[in-house]
Structure 1
Amino acid sequence: MVSFFCLTSSNDIPTVNIPNLDKFVHAFFYFVFTILWFLFFKKQVKKKNQFKFLVVAVCFSLLFGIGIEILQDKLTTTRSGDCFDVLANLIGTIIAFSFVLFAKQIKKNQNTNE
């Protein structure tokens, strides 16, 4: 479904005159996307060391974002690939990665203090 919306005609999307708003949307989307993939992998495999699942979620999110940009450039006539969209995706993914590590550290500290 996400792929469909990323590859449909951009003529139907309402425009808003806020500079670089789309980059913030990309970053936010990939923040959520990465966390959801991490939670999916975490739920599928119950292991203590879940860091590798976070890395897999980050890699999957980044590869997906790059793939979508390539497909927008090659398969659509109303959209084009944008390196800055990939950069915004990367920023959102890095923020998600940091957020998960930070949350895990807080949880670990709380468990240690009990």
Structure 2
Amino acid sequence: MKLTENLSAHKKAFLWLALVWTSIVTIFCLINMNALPTVKVDNFDKFGHITFHFGMTVLWFLYYKFRRENTSRRSLIKAFLFSFIYGVSIELIQTFFTKSRTGDIFDEIANIIGSLMAISVMILIMKRNNAKTL
């Protein structure tokens, strides 16, 4: 079975995975982190932002990609925009609606880096698997 046929058969699973991942990211972004153990590495939280948005972009891309009406390019754009808007929204929520968290422009930059890394990996995988052109 071709890779695209196999993945297309599981698009509902991609939706659930994307929703669960996004929910986990939301929880980690909004809970009070002061009670949790800390890692004594400068900007370690940026690695978390990169990882969260890498995963989010990949999962939403896979969900969008295997819906009939989306091309690879459109799916990449949708996944990136979702990650970007989500990241900005979380930073605003942290700034204005939480007491223990603050928004940070460098967190958003890390989010964008993670998302762009995911898009780059998806493009490389599609080119390697001779997927449809973007």
TM-score over 0.5 for the pair: yes
**TM-score of the two chains, using structure 2 as the length reference:** 0.75
Return structure 1 stretches of 4+ with deviation > 4 angstroms: none
Query: In angstroms, what is the RMSD of aligned CA positions?
Result: 1.6
Superposition map of 1:1-114 within 5 A: 1=23, 2-43=25-66, 45-46=67-68, 49-108=71-130
Q: Which runs of 5+ in 1 are unaligned?
A: 110-114
Preserved contact between residue 95 and residue 102 of structure 2 (Cα < 8 Å): yes
Q: Distance in 1 between matches of 2:113 and 2:77?
A: 15
Identity among equivalent positions (%) equals: 38
Q: Which has the higher contact order (CA 8 A, sep 6+)?
A: 1
Moved more, 79-88 or 17-26: 17-26
Moved more, 9-18 or 98-107: 9-18
Q: Which runs of 5+ in 2 are unaligned?
A: 1-22
Q: How many pairs align?
A: 108
Q: Distance in 2 between matches of 1:65 and 1:47?
A: 26
**TM-score of the two chains, using structure 1 as the length reference:** 0.87
Q: How far did residue 48 of structure 1 move?
A: 7.3
SS in 2 for 1:108: coil
